[in-house]
Amino acid sequence: MMVIDNLRYNLSEHPSIVGFRWSHAQSWGSTWFFLFNSIAAYVAVSVFLHLLLLAVFRHRRPLPLGPLPAVHSLCMALISITIFAGILLSTAAEIRDTRWSWRRTRTTPFQWLLCFPLGIRPSGRVFFWSYIYYLSRFLHALRTFFTIIRGRKLSFFKLFNNSIVIFTSFLWLEFSQSLQVLAILLTTLVYSVVYGYRFWTAIGLPSACFPFVVNCQMVLLGCNLVCHIGVLLLHLIKGGCNGIGAWGFNSVLNGAILLLFLNFYVKVHIRNRKPSGCGGAAVKEAEKAEKLVKDKDI
């Protein structure tokens, strides 16, 4: 019981979490200048590294990276599950402390998860974990460099997707955007499973007999689509959700990502013959699909 209490305190009741405030002066990486420069640097370094390796190594054989991808996957899995647990406990605490103020508008906890009330400020528990999630996107983007070094492949989708994820998570904080709590819960839950699976296979353990990562990505994108529809309905019914302008911009960007990935998913899985059972042929087909999807990371 003491362990659970300590965990709850450190993830949702610590003074630095409760007293967090998104501020350009106090929060690292919180300025527009930093955002645009970091994304530009990410794209520039990716392109430069890709061209450099193509010039130095004429052959297309993969370059070994040793245990680095496995260590990165393990770190991302642990970070994702920590953020998931932190924002889950923080959400429960925020609902407990503020639901008395929802009685006038008859707002339910689920509606609050989708639609923040107008005028909410980016401070407190859930925004602390939103900030940690924003910072973790830079660590997530390191997979691009692994792909470039190992296979000399540079995908427009990977650059676009990672840049948009960093940009949208910044907008969540800057405009106190609705939906971010539920989006972080879903994303970190899927990320913890996906990166745990990547670590599992990276250390040589057997992989699934179906394209595990691809299906997780489709589940996440489908859930995000349903949540976006819910925000729109609540905005029209309840008279407004906070940060709806940023939400609309994010919806357009997420829609573009969804269409690109859905097109890829159809080409790889629907048009190909589905392997039956869980034998060697099925595992090989799944591994082939997972290799193709490396450029379509969530």
Assigned domain for 23 exists = no
In a domain, 94, yes or no: yes
Asked if residue 119 is part of any domain, the answer here is: yes
Report if residue 56 sits inside a domain: yes
- 237: containing domain: 7-18+29-296
Is 138 domain-assigned?
A: yes
What phi-psi label fits residue 124: left (phi over 0), alpha (psi between -120 and 50 degrees) or beta?
A: left
Collect the ranges in the chain with pLDDT lower than 70: 1, 59-60, 100, 102, 104-105, 209-210, 265, 267-298
Closest C-alpha to 153, from 70, 74, 61: 61
Among residues 202, 224, 190, 204, which one has the least CA distance to residue 297?
190
Q: What's this model's pTM, rounded to 2 decimal places? A: 0.89
pLDDT of residue 284: 52
In a domain, 1, yes or no: no
For 213-260, how does the pLDDT look when each residue is reduced to its tens digit (9 = 90+)? 878 888 888 888 899 999 999 998 888 899 999 999 888 888 888 887
Judged on CB neighbours under 10 Å (0-12, 13-18, 19+), 86 is buried
Is residue 24 in some structural domain?
no
Number of folded domains that form the chain: 1
pLDDT of 287: 54
